[in-house]
Amino acid sequence: MINAGVLGSPISHSLSPLLHTTAYRYLGVEGEYHAYEVASGGLADFLLGKGKDLNCLSLTMPLKEEALGVADHVSSISKQIASGNTLHKKDSSWHLTSTDVEGFSFALKAVADFQYDEVLVIGAGATARAVAAACNRSSTTLTVAGRSEKRHNSIRKSAPDATLEFVDWETNLDLDSFDLVVNTTPANAANSFISTVNNPKGVFFEVIYNPWPTDLLERWKSTNAAYVDGLDLLIHQAISQVEIFTGQDIDRPAMAHLLRIEGLKVL
């Protein structure tokens, strides 16, 4: 039986319990999935205490980096991006991986399946590293707008094949000129970029779903240009987690359609 949950802080807004329980019901799999408030620094104690009977875990901030220190086995993709959102127990050992990279790629492909050569990533944290890894091609120029140079090395390790350009947050960027713009910042932190969206040629990818939608996404939608929202990212990374937890191959388009219907009901 799957005895699972999502861990993080804050966690009350998480849609993961809804998505996972819907998926298990659809697949006819016996499973429990709940949300657990676990603050930074608390993952190891949780696994030894309240979470000792759990066998499948989804991780959100601030635990994605912390998980690297508690897992018995770490996948190559988690090592590459120095982050993991998926823990599952096998033979009494915790195995860590990330479905964020795969989830991003599937969500983007479902909306617009073409090559993105000029990519802008707003933000430089754990999610930005997953995006960088998903865009890691020699033909890609990846521009990263962030507030701290301390995160540049981790981005470079996440996308070793791409051409990387780092710019200050205050840089005057033309969002209309990029093939793909990805906002990885929380809430409406990227509102300063709204005025640069007028006639975009590319696709906008908003990785969060709380608030729903962000002001920047609203501006992009008003131009009738293509976009992907945070619900789609959550859905596709969750589908990949469900495949790991259940050991089943899933009809992704059918499952994504079902989960989006359920997710929109509560947003």
The 3-state DSSP class for residue 73 equals strand
What's the confidence (pLDDT) of residue 169?
A: 87
Spatial contact of 119 and 182, defined as CB atoms under 8 Å apart: yes
* CA distance linking residue 53 with residue 14, whole number of Å: 21
114: pLDDT strictly greater than 80: no
**What is the distance, to the nearest Å, from the Cα of residue 23 to the centroid of all Cα atoms in its chain?**
18
- Whole-number average pLDDT of the chain: 95
Per-residue model confidence as pLDDT tens digits over 68-111? 999 999 999 999 999 999 999 999 999 999 999 999 999 999 98
Q: What's the pLDDT tens digit per position in 18-41? A: 999 999 999 999 999 999 999 999
Q: Going along 22-157, which residue ranges are E strands? A: 31-37, 56-59, 73-74, 86-90, 93-97, 118-122, 141-146
Distance CA 3, CA 1 (A): 6
pLDDT of 150-163, one tens digit each?
A: 899 999 999 999 99
Q: Counting beta carbons within 10 angstroms of the beta carbon of residue 144, is it exposed (0 to 12), middle (13 to 18) or buried (19 or more)?
A: buried
- Closest CA relative to residue 266, chosen from 1, 17, 3: 17
pTM over 0.85? The answer is: yes
What SS3 state is found at 204? strand
pLDDT (average), residues 225-234: 95
What's the count of helices (H) and strands (E) in the chain, helices before strands? 9, 12
Q: What is the pLDDT of residue 113?
A: 79
